Structure 1
Amino acid sequence: MKSILSVIGVLLLSVVLFTSCSKDTDPADVDVFAGTFKGKIGYVDDEKNISQDNGSVFVTKVGTRYDFRFSDGIPDLTGVEFEKKDDNTMVSIGSSGTGLITINKDKLVIGFARNGRSWTADCGR
Structure 2
Amino acid sequence: MQKTIKILGIFMLVIFTALSFSSCSDNSEEDLMKDDSFAGVYRGGVSYQDADQDISTTEGSVFVTKVISDKKYNFAFSNNIPALNDIDVEKTGDNALIMVGSNATAYVRVENNEVKIAYTKDGKTWNATCKR
1:19-98 correspondence to structure 2 within 5 Å: 30=35, 34-62=39-67, 63-86=70-93, 88-98=95-105
2:39 is paired with a residue of what secondary structure?
Answer: strand
* TM-score normalised according to structure 1 size: 0.71
Structure 2 Cα separation of the partners of residues 69 and 111 of structure 1:
14
One-letter code aligned to 1:120: N
Q: Which moved more, 1:29-38 or 1:106-115?
A: 29-38
Report the number of matched residues: 97
Q: Name the counterpart of 2:110.
A: 103
Counterpart contact for 2:45–2:59, Cα < 8 Å: yes
Note the residue ranges of structure 2 that are not aligned, 5 or more in a row. Answer: 1-33
3-state SS, counterpart of residue 46 of structure 1: coil
State the one-letter code of the partner of 2:101: G
Larger strand proportion of the pair: 1
After TM superposition, the runs of 4+ consecutive aligned structure 1 residues lying more than 6 A away are: none
Say whether 1:116 aligns with 2:98.
no
Paired with 1:113 and 1:43, the residues of 2 have a C-alpha distance of 10
TM-score when scaled to structure 2?
0.67
1:77 is matched by which residue type in structure 2? L
Partners in 2 of 1:74 and 1:68 — Cα distance? 10
Unaligned runs of 5+ in 1: 1-28
Q: Indicate the percent of aligned positions where both proteins have the same amino acid.
A: 38
Cα root mean square deviation, aligned: 1.9
